């Protein structure tokens, strides 16, 4: 990337940060509520199975795209448009992310699902499905203390609120741990399948 592009991107990030500093708490709350209304409408019939299911995203689709849209805006990864309100910025980002995710999912080569792999491990190890799933998960998070603790809490409580209370984390932090764990497992599974 040449120096002019780098300077322009740095300038855009500074503009975005300055614009975000000027937004009141009330406007943030109102904008997030508007984003949630949009996401619930947009994903109303899509989040049970397929690309937008909790199994694929690692958390409910509305929560996933809300947090991703906020992250993209705050991190400066999305170009700030001064003519748009905060709510419209977030909705535009979320809409773009949803479209890209659907496209990537549709173009993804067919792979063996984690459920199929779990069944295979369960048969080999004479475990029930739940034990096999946890065995795969523990194998892939071994050595990462916070993910090990999270997985133990999932096994014990299997409820986000209870896990949050047990680990003394916010719900957002619990979802982030789950996403992080699922990425590790998905990457490991895809490596095993391609080997």
What average pLDDT does range 27-41 have in this prediction? 87
**Statement: residue 120 has pLDDT above 60:** no
SS3 helix, strand, coil % of the chain, rounded to 5? 75, 0, 25
pLDDT tens track for 150-167: 888 888 887 778 888 989
What average pLDDT does range 64-89 have in this prediction? 84
Q: Which residues contact 175 (CB under 8 A, 6 or more apart)?
A: 58, 59, 63, 64, 67, 160
pLDDT tens track for 175-184: 888 888 877 7
Q: Check residue 104 and give its pLDDT.
A: 81
Question: Angle at CA 82, nearest 5°, toward 78 and 85?
Answer: 90
Rounded (10°) angle between helices 86-107 and 61-75:
120
- Residue 109 has, within 13 A of its CA and on its CB side, a CA count of 4
Please count the residues of the chain.
195
Q: Which residues contact 160 (CB under 8 A, 6 or more apart)?
A: 171, 174, 175
What average pLDDT does range 57-72 have in this prediction? 87
**Statement: residue 127 has pLDDT above 50:** no
Q: How far apart are CA 90 and CA 35, in angstroms?
A: 6
| Burial class of 174 by CB neighbour count within 10 A (0 to 12, 13 to 18, 19+) | buried
Task: Look at 17 and 31; give whichever has higher pLDDT.
Answer: 31
Helices and strands (H and E) in the chain: how many: 10, 0
Q: How far apart are CA 151 and CA 184, in angstroms?
A: 13
pLDDT tens track for 18-31: 667 777 888 888 88
Q: Check residue 132 and give its pLDDT.
A: 61
**Statement: residue 52 has pLDDT above 60:** yes
């Amino acid at each position: 990337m040449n120096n002019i592009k780098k300077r322009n991107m740095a300038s855009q990030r500074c503009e975005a940060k300055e614009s975000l500093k000027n937004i009141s708490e009330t406007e943030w709350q109102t904008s997030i509520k508007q984003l949630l209304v949009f996401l619930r409408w947009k994903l109303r019939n899509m989040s049970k199975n397929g690309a937008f299911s909790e199994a694929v995203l690692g958390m409910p689709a509305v929560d996933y795209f809300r947090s991703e849209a906020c992250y993209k805006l705050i991190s400066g990864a999305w170009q700030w448009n001064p003519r748009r309100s905060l709510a419209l910025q977030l909705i535009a980002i979320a809409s773009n992310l949803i479209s890209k995710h659907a496209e990537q999912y549709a173009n993804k080569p067919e792979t063996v699902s984690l459920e199929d792999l779990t069944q295979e491990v369960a048969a080999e190890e004479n475990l029930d499905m739940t034990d096999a799933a946890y065995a795969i998960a523990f194998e892939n998070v071994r050595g990462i203390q916070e993910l090990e603790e999270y997985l133990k809490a999932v096994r014990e409580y299997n409820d986000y609120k209870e896990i949050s209370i047990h680990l003394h984390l916010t719900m957002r932090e619990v979802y982030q741990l789950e996403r992080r764990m699922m990425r590790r497992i998905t990457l490991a599974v895809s490596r095993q399948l391609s080997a």
